[in-house]
Amino acid sequence: MLTEQKEKNMGKNYLCLDTGGTSVKFSVCDENGQILSRGKMPVGKTLEEFLNQIQTIYKETTPIEGIACSFPGEVHSEEGVIYGISAVEHLHNCKLKQMISERCDFKKVSMVNDANAAALGEAWLGVGKSYKNIAFVIVGSGVGGAVIENGNLYPGTTMNKAEIGNFPMGGMENGELLCWSCFTLEKEAQKYSRLHQRIVNGKELMALSEKGDKEAAAYVNEFLHYMAIGCINVQFAYDPEIIAIGGGISENPQIIEAICRTYKELVKGQQMEYLQPKIVACEQGNDANLLGALYYFLKYEK
């Protein structure tokens, strides 16, 4: 099950879990964020299957001090419950933190939203470690967000602060407001796929655009347009030192450059032109959620 393993240190080690819609990534980390071992498996399709998976992972990674978890959705760690909407709804509305602890020798467990985890991981050991005020835009099939203010994570009264994917972007479709998450690169690729009746992902859409496919280029430009609009909203809403872009698109420097270029083109000659945000790519990649879950466990979990 473990795909990479280093010799464990003599200090305290922690099991870190990052659960998404299709897989559970896990690692054993020390308290300084060094990853000692790692693995990945498909996420259980039922609550019982998921809990059995976590128990199996735990048994393979002991001894550990505690378990730090990242989940999508409206995650309430103190209550130990996930609410809202996510791709793992079979894990919602139950005492999940308590159940995980019971399966793992009653170890201490923490839970944090995945976008918040990514932000904490980057703020701790990534692109944000030199800044106190950072806005994170995490782009996948949808858009997630998190804000670090004065060096601290502020999830808000209902754990929905910086749920920027819900920012309205103008217009309605089928009776619903169009929001930022409607215009990710993957969503644009789905539009192209429906039009041409073949499956194309975001990377392939970019490649088609670069090869001169005008329809692909139109969808890519729509994605860049709404990324720039979203960053304008983020800059005025939170006034951060940097806007850090995470998710798969952060691995492509040309996309980050194109977002910056589109931003400048949109505001050129307008009153808001004076406000030029610093837009950068995240650095920790797939490890950000694991490291952020650990940081939340160490700093925020009561």
pLDDT-based confidence at residue 141 (cuts at 50, 70, 90): confident
Mean predicted confidence (pLDDT) in 1-8: 45
pLDDT-based confidence at residue 1 (cuts at 50, 70, 90): very low
Q: Is the pLDDT of residue 95 over 70?
A: yes
Q: What is the dihedral of CA 124, 129, 131, 136, to 10 degrees?
A: -60
Percent of the chain residues topping a pLDDT of 70 = 97
pLDDT number for residue 158: 86
Q: pLDDT tens digits, residue range 259-272?
A: 999 999 999 999 88
Considering only 37-46, 48-57, 149-158, which range has the smallest mean pLDDT? 149-158
Scan for tokens 């589109």, then name that residue.
Answer: 262
pLDDT number for residue 170: 85
Task: Decide: helix, strand or coil at residue 29.
Answer: strand
User: Going by C-beta distance under 8 Å and a sequence separation of 6 or more, which residues neighbour residue 46?
Assistant: 90
Mean predicted confidence (pLDDT) in 59-72: 94
- Residue 169 burial class via C-beta count within 10 angstroms: exposed 0-12, middle 13-18, buried 19 and up: middle
Structure tokens at 5: 């393993």
pLDDT number for residue 10: 55
pLDDT number for residue 41: 94
Task: Decide: helix, strand or coil at residue 194.
Answer: helix
Q: pLDDT tens digits, residue range 199-256?
A: 999 999 999 999 999 999 999 999 999 999 999 999 999 999 999 999 989 989 999 9
Percent of the chain residues topping a pLDDT of 90 = 84
Residue type, 235: Q
d(CA 211, CA 217): 9
Q: Is the pLDDT of residue 298 over 50?
A: yes
d(CA 294, CA 14): 7
At 23, phi and psi to the nearest 5?
-145, 160
pLDDT-based confidence at residue 2 (cuts at 50, 70, 90): very low
- Residue 200, CB half-sphere, CA atoms under 13 Å: how many? 25
